[in-house]
A and B are shown apart, each in its own frame.
Chain A
């Protein structure tokens, strides 16, 4: 035990206490209410019980905590009123004031978020050395100042109270020291066989310094093997390149140069390497200033609806397996010699492909064809050929050396590893990150074979499924706690620096490698710095270079140069096999919890998934037609049987989904994710075979007769003929530029004279033509404004707390509708209905036109929400904010009150940011500059759909946007005169196809 404490391990009792606490559910309400979600049976009761949300109260009413609360309540009743005496507080200043840190002033550090090895640069806000908010890094090519939802949620990941806090050795606390001893013993043994039984399993690695370290390690054990594995890997992309060019290359798109884009089952704009940048480039090519403006055109052919498909001017739904045939047909049209594929059963309008081909050809050199990561390699190869014929190489698409340090066929490598373990070849297995027991293909049977390994070690953020089966689990450092480097989508070297010392004595991969390599004294910082110092031999003053790189977060001009490639001949010449018969199944990563690594992140769990608007669950998606044929309705619990394995999943009827196929999503059904993630959804990985990890046929689906309640934040999907999202085609707009303002009352009726706003008048504009509905803004807002997570039961009732929501409406026919997104946040109406009705003046108008909500004055009548036509107000029906988990306190934004039970809250236009900037401006005796104030949502938005600023200043960006004739107000006729306005959505369809469709 002493050794533990000496070595920073935690005493046994703490862990025991923790375990007990979690097991008994004596955990803070926030978490427990999430626990209540855990058991799916409970959900089923839910669906059947007429008054679901009353049910669990009765139980809760009886437990100790509630009893105490009841007593407290009666006390409060007695005489809580009137007493305004503040408790005595302490001030604890530093002993030695650190450099830079000024109490009350945040600092920003550049670092990077990595997903499957690819780095996206971010700036992290730090209050008194506590990272509180992640923002995009404008200097980073992969970010350009924006970020995705995963990056925004990273801080919660850091402070997650379920993170592994100590090494676990066969179920007992084990210290790093103990581990070191055992490790050196094991390695010594391996030395004898020069590491024949030694295996290293890592995720995709793009970090040069880490790769170098691994190299050093492997040099010591020549016959040891290094395997890389990602459950959502990009093998098909790599293999496709190999077929096309005979070598692995990294494909980079220049969306900003593409006039016509075709995506093939690809979610180009919202997932995959570089998606944040691509989204911005895409929206810039689409931004319409006036009738002269041009727009790019997007064709999307896809199996299940994606955000990208939602943005498409022409969308064709097609079974994933048939897209290969589609590509072959298209290739032929474009004069690429390929063999024809089997006939496509999904209906393709006859004029579609020829028109598309013509369009692509007319824009040769300015067109772009993109294949989805999960399409077979041959499709990628043929797409390369097509882009080549269209002369797009080095124009809209270029190739570089791979960004992976050691590009391999990961799927294959994982297979080999499994075989080796099964055949007892593996004696020592070191697993750095990843979670193979959960996410490796089920038929590899990792959970059965892993125990066969004599000495298995797992470095991980959580003590999860894999840790449970390893001899050693060791706490990994969060990326906000570690030094490192990684490559961006285009190869740019991105530095990762810690914002805070490891909370639980965790080690980063680099630290761990240093341990393996016996570089005891070396810190990760030394390793990275020395690595680059060695590289930068030419650079005169390395310190300056290093400082700059750290400050910027990137090493300037380190993006890989374009690499000349030679296209092989005869790509796709051999005739492909016919499709097997039967229902198709498609495996995809979940849009919010990805491959399951984010399963314990409450923000991402509660983030409504794009298009479905579902939270806390994964579903089996199928098209209305197919659902009808099978007699399945949404929220039916169905049994999926594929290749001998079965799993029960909730069905979801998805408009725009391809017929005769079912999409399932990875990342759910975790058994050891933590208090938030464990038991949510179902584990699609269980029926995901090694042979067909993405697309397969022969799925059997059967109704179980049970219901599975799904918590969607939007249950009504059509606009009921209301003029909420105004859409037109580019041509219609050119013919009728004022279409969006058709019914605008030029001088709105009012009995009262208009209020004149001297000085600033804050306003916002939202560009519906840019919004992809990715949800980054929702999480950004949640992080910035300390918004609570409420859990599935509460979302089911309709009590989610998000200040900004993205409404999604369908237009047109059920099978293949147009999708429109509309972010809705507080409109800050000039004549706000909420303000009049509040009995205690808790919501009032500011002299700068903000609709202010004062939590500490609110008594919670909810009258304002009833009277809000936009329903953007959110109420703390229960004590949603966690006031009890210490680790979460560090995460909160100190400039925003944490709301308690019984008060209303809503979007404030990030008033804390407005005030901060105003104060600085005042001190400098100047007025606020345009663009100086950036709201959290605006900051995170990859496609620049949000504009904010002073509408009294005619030259401000927002004023200019609002001046466009596309500008309109939501529910104009109510005369609430919102400060937040919208830019109408425009589509740029191919006239040929439109005409044919009309006929």
Chain B
């Protein structure tokens, strides 16, 4: 029995920041697994899921119509060949960064406070990447030929153009998706086993049983599990940097003023982590409230995430400043015009909103009071989410709409189909999330238990 050791320890423990007071192995396991197994589906879940599902249907409708009529239903044109699709893609990919960062890097850095949020963050990562993955496919004029992007021996004796950043994207994103999935699943194994053992009805037993892949919690299992996790962590770490670097290449490798910039890779990665953590906060705050998990996702976690948010926010702010400086210092009239146009052109509003959201707002996080207030953190996280989307809008649209020849300048306006698709993916993201928190342990049971163990040691000394 996986949870037999719990019988041994029963004495009380001092309250500690990263784990609420009065928890032993059993209580941890109960509290988390109960959400999935015993508790009856709460009303807010049903309502929430219904809403999200409706949006998924909207997404499907929008995509079907898109395939029927073509990308012309969107607002894109010449010169602005990329619109919402690519904006959303970059935005989602960015969000999909926190997970791996938390699980892999913080794991290697032995940051224990990550434990309670990593499962959650990883899941979020997967779902975000899933949403992101839709866009490169549907933004194509002829999506049914998407497979031409992959290298395979065909009847045309043709290969993809390996010089094209889009091809790198294909590899980067798919690798990232695969590794995150593995990482997440491996992490789930022991907990799936727990659920299997604690499940009341047979179907549940069988399903969790299959997913648990015969985990019995033997020493060998644990040993291999450890190794696997570490290996995957090792694999995942460079990916955190590589994925968004490659995504930034989509822009940096072109000659478009506003895209053609060497600072893009670091600045995109920072932005990604920024966005990712914002999203983790946005989600974990309500969840911890709704499931009463204040003990596991403590103020310490929120505080730390606030700090990370502030740090990455500052890097991003630096990025913006450097962009402006480069434009000025480049001496290229096109770069300069691009920057002035961002600040004073037809889309200036968007730019200044972005500055307000991504640079000004996070400054509040300097104050401990703000970091200590759940509401404040939530608000800021929300603002940052919006801000990061606006950033992508500024990069994609304002750079393209006025490039080199004034004769071909134009304006981009999204259509209701652009918006439907965007909202739809948010729906998809939420729907998956709702399913996740309902049917899988949203906090890693075994790792939390190991925390209990850690605290024992501390107490012993």
Contact = CB atoms under 8 A, between A and B. Distances in A.
B79 A871 contact: yes
Contacts of A860: 71, 140-142
Interface string A699-725: 000000000000000111111111010
Contact of B70 (A50, A81, A720, A901): A901
Nearest to B60: A74
Contact of B81 (A863, A870, A878): A863
B338 to A, nearest CB: 12
Contacts of A878: 69-70, 72
B403 A875 contact: no
B142 A903 contact: yes
B366 interface: no
B246 to A, nearest CB: 13
B405 interface: yes
B294 to A, nearest CB: 44
In the complex, which of the residues B67, B70, B139 has the most CB atoms of chain A within 10 Å of its own CB atom?
Answer: B70
Nearest to B145: A859
A77 B158 CA distance: 23
In the complex, which of the residues A57, A862, A875, A904 has the most CB atoms of chain B within 10 Å of its own CB atom?
Answer: A862
B340 to A, nearest CB: 11
A838 interface: yes
A837 interface: yes
B202 to A, nearest CB: 35
A838 B166 CA distance: 8
A877 interface: yes
A871 B406 contact: no
B95 interface: no
Provide the main secondary structure of the chain B interface.
Answer: loop
Nearest to A975: B255
A974 B255 contact: yes
B148 to A, nearest CB: 5
Contacts of B403: 869, 871
Interface in A41-80: 50-54, 57-58, 60-61, 66, 69-70, 72-74, 76-77, 80
A858 B415 CA distance: 25
Contact of A836 (B80, B82, B253): B253
Contact of B146 (A715, A809, A859, A865): A859
Contact of A58 (B163, B405, B416): B416
B166 A70 contact: no
B343 interface: no
Given A69-B69, A903-B141, A866 B406 contact: no
Interface in A858-887: 858-863, 865-867, 869-871, 873-879
A833 interface: yes
A859 B140 contact: yes
A74 B72 CA distance: 18
A839 B164 contact: yes
B256 interface: yes
A839 B70 contact: no
Nearest to B254: A867
B211 interface: no
B163 A77 contact: no
A902 interface: yes
Contacts of A840: 145, 148-149, 158, 160-161
Contacts of A724: 405-406
B417 interface: yes
Contacts of B77: 797-799, 877
A807 B253 contact: no
A503 interface: no
Contact of B79 (A74, A798, A861): A798
A479 to B, nearest CB: 36
A81 B147 contact: yes
A18 interface: no
B73 A51 contact: no
Interface in B411-436: 411, 413-418
Interface string A174-215: 000000000000000000000000000000000000000000
B415 A809 contact: no
Given A862-B82, A863-B164, A61 B409 contact: no
Contacts of A23: none
A693 B419 CA distance: 51
A51 B414 contact: yes
Contact of A54 (B143, B332, B416): B416
Given A57-B415, A838-B164, A877-B70, A866 B333 contact: no
A798 B140 contact: no
Contacts of B367: none
B167 interface: yes
Contact of B78 (A60, A81, A824, A875): A875
Nearest to B402: A716
B155 interface: yes
Interface string B77-103: 111111000000000000000000000
B141 A858 contact: yes
Nearest to B409: A716
Contacts of B337: 720
Contacts of B318: none
In the complex, which of the residues A60, A869, A971 has the most CB atoms of chain B within 10 Å of its own CB atom?
Answer: A869
Nearest to A65: B68
A84 B155 contact: yes
Interface in A466-499: none
B75 A51 contact: yes
B65 A871 contact: no
Contact of A809 (B80, B164, B407, B414): B407
Contacts of B163: 836-837
A60 B417 CA distance: 13
Contact of A714 (B73, B165, B253, B407): B407
Given A865-B81, A869-B405, A971-B404, A857 B158 contact: yes
Interface string A74-115: 101100111010000000000000000000000000000000
Interface in B243-277: 250, 253-256
B408 interface: yes
Contacts of A714: 407-408
Given A797-B77, A836-B163, A877-B72, A824 B405 contact: yes
A911 interface: no
A189 B383 CA distance: 88
A861 B140 contact: yes
A841 interface: yes
A868 B400 CA distance: 10
A798 B75 CA distance: 10
Contacts of B139: 861
Contacts of B145: 81, 840, 859
Interface in B33-78: 64-65, 67-73, 75-78
Contacts of A720: 337, 406
B325 interface: no
Interface in B116-154: 139-149
A902 B79 contact: no
Contacts of A52: 413
Contact of A866 (B68, B254, B411): B254
Contact of A859 (B67, B148, B254, B417): B148
Given A70-B64, A715-B410, A720-B337, A53 B75 contact: yes
Interface of B: 64-65, 67-73, 75-82, 139-149, 155-156, 158-161, 163-167, 170, 250, 253-256, 332-333, 337, 400, 403-411, 413-418
Given A51-B416, A797-B75, 9 more contacts: A53-B75, A69-B69, A717-B406, A720-B406, A722-B406, A724-B406, A824-B407, A860-B140, A866-B82
Interface of A: 50-54, 57-58, 60-61, 66, 69-70, 72-74, 76-77, 80-82, 84, 714-722, 724, 794, 797-799, 805, 807-809, 822, 824, 833, 836-841, 857-863, 865-867, 869-871, 873-879, 901-904, 971, 973-974
6 contacts: A73-B68, A77-B144, A721-B333, A722-B333, A865-B81, A877-B72
4 nearest A-B pairs in the assembled complex, by CB-CB distance: A860-B141, A902-B141, A54-B415, A877-B72
